[in-house]
Structure 1
Amino acid sequence: MKRQFISRIKWLLIVPAILLFVHCSGPKRVKFPIPVDTKNKPIDLQIKKSYAFEDLGVWVSNEFDGARLNGAQKLNDSTIILRFEPENTPINKSPYYGFKVWSDSPKQTYFLFDYPEGFDHRYKPKRKEDGKWSEIDSLDLAETESGMILKLNLSREPIIVAGQEINNSKDVQEWYREDVVGNRDFVREGSVGQTELGRNIPVLDIYHGNVTGKPIIVLMTRQHPPEVTGYFAFQNFLTTLVDQSELSTQFLNKYRVLVFPIMNPDGVDLGHWRHNANGVDLNRDWSKYRQPEIKNVVGHLLRTSKESMGEIILGLDFHSTYEDVFYTNEIREGTSLPHFIDDWFELLEQNIAGYKVNEAASNSTRPVSKGWFLYGHNAVGITYEIGDHTPRERIAEIGATSAQAMMNVLLENK
């Protein structure tokens, strides 16, 4: 009995030590002035189904990745009410929607958008027909006391309507494999792990020659699912980095770029307004890494930096908001690139006709990525935001030119 008692005491002492070791062996946490609770929160999954209105000869469906539709009911002989709800609350007031609609014969049908109380319409609807996206004519939209009403001319050919062009995890994978990886042996596709629902979190590792000691630049996007205008800028930025021009070749001889083309594939495919499958805003988890997406990405960045003896010097996180803006940290002196932001913005204004950089500088108080780069690595962190309604051609120009400017500034950096 005495031996059993001693054995149990030893075990009770060992277990906490093991747990402490496991806890401490994870990625190093970064402190922020204002902590945010990023523990798992319940979500409401939309029911995947096709809503049949046979007396109208109309069908509405959310049975595809990236859709968002929580209910549909007939209002009258020409109008269907569509219900859109967030995955959970509290959440930002930016309702997202995505649905497919068709009819048994050509007809005009109206759709009334119904959001929960306190949520107003944000995204101008886009339509995908014959494989192409376009903006819906403003003449087919009407703001009423009951909400936004959309008029559509339907046929047997389905139309997809969404707040922004849908780019789900499969679309993203097809894009980077074709337009970024391709036959480029200097672009290496990998994975940092899986999400809560088992989706892949991809990473692209880009450099020429010997990797040892190369400074590291980090690019990421789609922490927030509907923010696709930032993703479009990211696409043009990244394809410019790998275009095999003289500038690109010189740059990748000196620097290494780690790229995360879809940070929140669960949220994207589930049609979430903002959060991941655990109901959490990933861009508030850059302190304690409670969510698998951030934990896996941070772990990969830290291991890669240590193994290659490459310092993380710059992080760009691509998002979308109401207007084009760069969120920066005020702390510059003493960082890895104290003059980068000013030099970069100066080149942007020189090389884009009529362009004026909209900068909002403040040191991160909550656990966001740009603060993680600053407080955790003394690196430059920037949240790169593109406006919801910035013209697509302008987005392409800004994305490509900002990549060229970044490469030029960093090549001049000694």
Structure 2
Amino acid sequence: MKKRILLSRKKGLLFVVGAALVFMAGCTVKKVKSEKSVDTTDKQIVYQTKKTYEFKDIGVWVSNEFDGARLNGAYQLNDSTITLQFYPENTPINKSPYYAFQTWSEVPNKVYFAFTYPEGFDHRYKPKRKINGEWTVIDSLDLIHTENGPLLKLELQKEPQTIAAQEINSSKDVGDWIRQEIVKDRDFVRLGSAGVSKMGKNLPVLDIHHGDAEGKPIIVLMTRQHPPEVTGFFAFQHFLKAIVDQSELSTQFLNSYRVLAFPILNPDGVDLGHWRHNANGIDLNRDWSKYRQPEIKNAVTYITKASKKDKGGIVLGLDFHSTYEDVFYTNVKREGTTLPNFIDDWFEILERDIKGYMVNEAAANSTMPVSKGWFLYGQNATGITYEIGDHTPRDRIAEIGATSAKAMMQVLLKE
């Protein structure tokens, strides 16, 4: 099997289990030390002002008054151009500007929108448009790259259209999807809560297994630590749907294993339209060490309590994200873990069952407190950061997500 190893590593870590213990919500959980400590104490953020901007002389409105919006200011430059300002919630932050706004016009109107970001930040995401409930990628010919930044040409109507860096899936959208597509009438899918976020939003968790949970090895799935990374969320959706599809494979798997799935770990950041952080201005995927943020503290507590209560070891953790291209970030250390051969066996099936697919793997023992290291050095389990490219086609995401779930089940049933 051929696999590429990336030279640049986005997320890595080398963890050792610390001796310190912390008592949380009636459960004792281990802190995990990282080689490179990251300060995850609260940092001040700047909230965008929720507002609908009216430009009377050209009959155009622009708004950020909806969940998932990101628009920090708007002003008219000339009779056909509106300048839009987009700023991050705080800094330092990764250089991936997120934007989302709605716009409409009294009469059919062609308008140019000039995007402006703070100095040092460049445009990343192709703009998407939602009209009448349907998302499409805007034609590249309508996005003009100038020396002052991107200029987006739009044909406006009375019907509002949402323009965003990535498709918006708010905490409400995710909750609706969970109930309609995953829970349904499946009695083996138990919808619970790991607690609440900084702003009091629910942290849903799905506990999935047939029969008694006692002694069943645990697989943990999670996504949306970083708000705009929705292609990873799409892969998570197809992955989870394959697990609960009640096929012969799914039934056999859930007779032997237990899945704990966290569909939205950062609901505050998602709904606030943050570029990366939670409501405390922190990257949650740097808090898997001291658990200073409520979202990670609650998730770790829930996982630990479930494992201890039912005597089921944590064997695998998959954390779904998005980046510039499809890639699996893995740990080099495998010998002596609960599933030393899982990664190679899993990747072999993916390359066999997905036409024209070659696994893109970047293996490194990480140095920062991220989730894949928490699984390895905190649980002696396999931890993988499962990344989907920003612009990977939706049908390809569906294929990769579903096939990788089936492959995981096949490999684990042979263990």
TM-score under structure 1 length normalisation: 0.94
Matched, 1:237 2:219: no
Alignment-derived partner of residue 392 in structure 2: 390
Distance 2:25 2:268 in 1: 26
In the TM superposition, what is the alpha-carbon distance from 1:32 to its structure 2 partner?
A: 1.2
Distance 2:340 2:137 in 1: 41
1:10-409 matches, within 5 Å, as 26-409=28-411
In the TM superposition, what is the alpha-carbon distance from 1:23 to its structure 2 partner?
A: 11
Alignment-derived partner of residue 10 in structure 2: none
In the TM superposition, what is the alpha-carbon distance from 1:130 to its structure 2 partner?
A: 1.1
RMSD (CA atoms)? 1.3
In the TM superposition, what is the alpha-carbon distance from 1:28 to its structure 2 partner?
A: 1.4
Alignment-derived partner of residue 17 in structure 2: none
In the TM superposition, what is the alpha-carbon distance from 1:210 to its structure 2 partner?
A: 1.3
Distance 2:22 2:155 in 1: 62
In the TM superposition, what is the alpha-carbon distance from 1:31 to its structure 2 partner?
A: 1.2
User: Which protein is richer in helix relative to its size?
Assistant: 1
SS at match of 2:88: coil
Distance 1:22 1:235 in 2: 30
| Letter paired with 1:168 | S
Ranked by relative contact order (alpha carbons within 8 Å, sequence separation 6 or more), the top structure is 2
| Letter paired with 1:304 | A
CA displacement, residues 27-79 of structure 1 (integer Å, 9 cap, x when unaligned)? 21011111100000000000001000011100000000000000000000000
Q: Please list every run of 5 or more consecutive structure 1 residues that lacks an aligned counterpart in the other structure.
A: 1-18
In the TM superposition, what is the alpha-carbon distance from 1:26 to its structure 2 partner?
A: 4.9
Distance 1:384 1:192 in 2: 22
User: Which protein is richer in strand relative to its size?
Assistant: 2
In the TM superposition, what is the alpha-carbon distance from 1:205 to its structure 2 partner?
A: 0.2
Rate the CA distance shift 1:76–1:251 in 2: closer, same or farther, 3 A: same
Rate the CA distance shift 1:85–1:407 in 2: closer, same or farther, 3 A: same
SS at match of 1:252: helix
Structure with higher Rg: it is 1
Distance 2:301 2:276 in 1: 23
SS at match of 1:29: strand
Contact 1:219 1:315 in 2 (8 A): yes
| Letter paired with 2:285 | N
In the TM superposition, what is the alpha-carbon distance from 1:211 to its structure 2 partner?
A: 0.9
Alignment-derived partner of residue 5 in structure 1: none
SS at match of 1:27: strand
Contact 1:31 1:375 in 2 (8 A): no
Rate the CA distance shift 1:30–1:109 in 2: closer, same or farther, 3 A: same
In the TM superposition, what is the alpha-carbon distance from 1:25 to its structure 2 partner?
A: 6.6
Distance 2:354 2:23 in 1: 52
Alignment-derived partner of residue 4 in structure 2: none
Distance 1:407 1:280 in 2: 34
Q: Please list every run of 5 or more consecutive structure 2 residues that lacks an aligned counterpart in the other structure.
A: 1-20
Distance 1:250 1:203 in 2: 22
Distance 2:240 2:27 in 1: 33
In the TM superposition, what is the alpha-carbon distance from 1:24 to its structure 2 partner?
A: 11
Distance 1:316 1:300 in 2: 16
Contact 2:86 2:115 in 1 (8 A): yes
Contact 1:218 1:259 in 2 (8 A): yes
Rate the CA distance shift 1:365–1:211 in 2: closer, same or farther, 3 A: same
Rate the CA distance shift 1:46–1:313 in 2: closer, same or farther, 3 A: same
| Letter paired with 1:33 | E
Runs (4+) off by over 3 Å = 19-26
Contact 1:329 1:361 in 2 (8 A): yes
In the TM superposition, what is the alpha-carbon distance from 1:20 to its structure 2 partner?
A: 8.6
Contact 1:121 1:148 in 2 (8 A): yes
CA displacement, residues 358-411 of structure 1 (integer Å, 9 cap, x when unaligned)? 000000110000000001010000000000011110000000000000000000
Contact 2:22 2:31 in 1 (8 A): no
Rate the CA distance shift 1:135–1:300 in 2: closer, same or farther, 3 A: same
TM-score under structure 2 length normalisation: 0.94
Alignment-derived partner of residue 11 in structure 2: none
Distance 2:247 2:334 in 1: 31
| Number of residues of Structure 1 aligned to a counterpart in Structure 2 | 395
Contact 2:23 2:29 in 1 (8 A): no
Distance 2:24 2:155 in 1: 59
In the TM superposition, what is the alpha-carbon distance from 1:302 to its structure 2 partner?
A: 0.5
